[in-house]
Amino acid sequence: MTTHSAAPLGCVLFDLDGTLLDTAPDLGAAVNHVLISEGFAPLSDDIIRQTTSHGALGLLRAGLGDELLEELGATRLRTALLDYYAANLCVGTRPYEGMVDLIEWLDEKQLPWGIVTNKPGFLTEPLLAALPALASCGVTVSADTLPVRKPDPAPMYFACDQLGVEASHCLYVGDHVRDIEAGRNAGMRTAVAGWGYLNDDEDPAQWGADLHFDTVQALHHWLRYELG
């Protein structure tokens, strides 16, 4: 873990899938529904967790490969996956262990928090609505809230503006290199969510994040120390 001197913390922003929520069970069920419907073997839980951050097409590609995916119709299969997922958004999805406690503590501290995700709004909004524990979220920026998405810094600036906090006073937590790039591009402190959907062949130490936490509890401990 590396740190540098920074402005006092004024808000925390989270990525959604693989950071705030474990959505792999439901995304995995959706891709496997499509694969089985097309006559192919389902993906293992391990492959699903390593691929979830790559979105619907990434999951399909893991099961079919590039050539077969194009041959069968990538757009058609992606639509089928998202239709199934939208109808089964919050069956197995849960906040990560310790996340509800962390959110409650942020609320007690009156430290605003929000979500910046590359998940489209038509999925993000009903998913969050199904999870009352996250009702205190101060801002949600989805993939289509703005014309650009992470790693562009614009969604990060937008979230901070909505919360009334300068970007330099924000910590962004995510489990993908684009999350760290987005935070850094916006001048935020960044933290790797080591509990998230990391690939075996990735080395988050190379992403240039300020902090790395293996568990939600470790992040919570650091925040308690930081805020006193």
Share of the chain above pLDDT 70, in %: 97
Name the strand (E) or helix (H) holding 79.
helix 74-87
Check pLDDT > 50 for residue 202: yes
Handedness of CA 52, 56, 21, 142 (dihedral sign): positive
Please name the residue that has the structure tokens 């906040």: 95
Lowest mean pLDDT among 5-9, 44-48, 74-78, 99-103: 5-9
pLDDT of residue 4: 45
Least confident of 130-134, 179-183, 199-203: 199-203
Given the residues 17, 22, 179, 210, the one annotated as active site: 17
Taking only the tens place, the pLDDT of each residue in 90-141 is 999 999 999 999 999 999 999 999 999 999 999 999 999 999 999 999 999 9
Q: For all residues of the chain together, what is the average pLDDT? A: 95
d(CA 163, CA 178): 22
pLDDT of 228 over the 80 cut = no
Higher pLDDT, 162 or 5: 162
Residues 6+ apart with CB under 8 A from 147: none
170-209 residues labelled b (16+ CB within 10 A) or e (exposed)? bbbbbbbbbbbbbbbbbbbbbbbbebbbbeeeeebeebeb
pLDDT(2) > 60:
no
pLDDT above 60 (res 213)? yes
Higher-confidence residue of 53 and 159: namely: 159
- Catalytic residue selected from 15, 26, 175, 179: 15
Task: Return the pLDDT at 54.
Answer: 87
Lowest mean pLDDT among 3-7, 187-191, 195-199: 3-7
**4-13, 51-60, 129-138, 189-198: least confidently modelled range:** 4-13
Mean pLDDT of 199-204: 89
On the 0-12 / 13-18 / 19+ scale of CB atoms within 10 A, 71 is exposed
pLDDT of residue 85 exceeding 90: yes
Establish whether 210 is a catalytic residue: no
Choose among 40, 43, 74: nearest CA to 57.
Answer: 74
- The confidence band for 201, taking pLDDT boundaries of 50, 70 and 90, is confident
Is 17 known to be catalytic?
yes
Task: Give the pTM.
Answer: 0.94
User: Strand 11-14 and strand 170-174: pairing?
Assistant: parallel
